[in-house]
Chains A and B, each alone.
Chain A
Amino acid sequence: GAVVSQHPSWVICKSGTSVKIECRSLDFQATTMFWYRQFPKQSLMLMATSNEGSKATYEQGVEKDKFLINHASLTLSTLTVTSAHPEDSSFYICSAGFRELSYNEQFFGPGTRLTVL
């Protein structure tokens, strides 16, 4: 089946620094990628949707300047958390979909645990 990887799987950073998380579709070309955030014992919350070669579409309440999303190729999307603060600590999950399937059939990465000190 379709495989999506994320790197790193976990990261610890100091407050004020920026962190980049990569999401790769390993065996298919993903025209659309999604970024989610998950708090402990809570739902996955969609942060943004990115289409290859175009700007990401952010959900209401998500700061575009803090969470920079780039989808430069059909196999890679990146999420950069800029000027990270402790409240940005969370589990970030990406997913990917492609044209041959309904867009709501998404393939998920294993997630990245971000801890901001």
Chain B
Amino acid sequence: GDSVTQMEGPVTLSEEAFLTINCTYTATGYPSLFWYVQYPGEGLQLLLKATKADDKGSNKGFEATYRKETTSFHLEKGSVQVSDSAVYFCALSPYDYKLSFGAGTTVTVRA
């Protein structure tokens, strides 16, 4: 079945460091891919998405490119801030509305 694997955390960075969170997927067909973020005490929020191969999703300085050849959707940000401390979830959605999530990666950014 469809599944998502993302790098285990926790990840601790200093402010202005470069962040990469790896995400790979297994799916039949061509799913949509997502990154969700969960800030402390809040619900999951959609961070960015890509619906087809080679699409690049971007938001708040974060980027991820849908790579069909490597079945990957890695999340990157060039310069993180303390406010980026959160749990990040990679997810996919096949032809229907269901979402399959990765395990989540906890990111802590220190000043």
Chain B: how many interface residues by the 8 Å CB criterion? 23
Q: Is the CB of A43 within 8 A of B42?
A: no
CB proximity to B under 8 Å, residues A32-69: 32, 34, 41-44, 46, 49
Given contacts A44-B89, A111-B43, 5 further A-B contacts (CB under 8 A): A43-B4, A104-B32, A104-B93, A108-B44, A110-B41
Flag whether B103 is at the interface (Cβ < 8 A): yes
Q: Hey, which bits of chain B sit against chain A, CB under 8 A?
A: 4, 32, 34, 36, 38, 41-46, 49, 89, 93, 96-104
* A1 CA to B32 CA, complexed, in Å: 22
- Name, among A41, A95, A97, the residue most crowded by chain B CB atoms within 10 Å (CB to CB): A41
Number of interface residues, chain A, beta carbon within 8 A: 22
Seen from chain A, the residues whose Cβ lies within 8 Å of a Cβ on chain B are: 4, 32, 34, 41-44, 46, 49, 93, 95, 97, 102-111
Known contacts A104-B32, A104-B93; is-contact A93 B99 (Cβ 8 Å): no
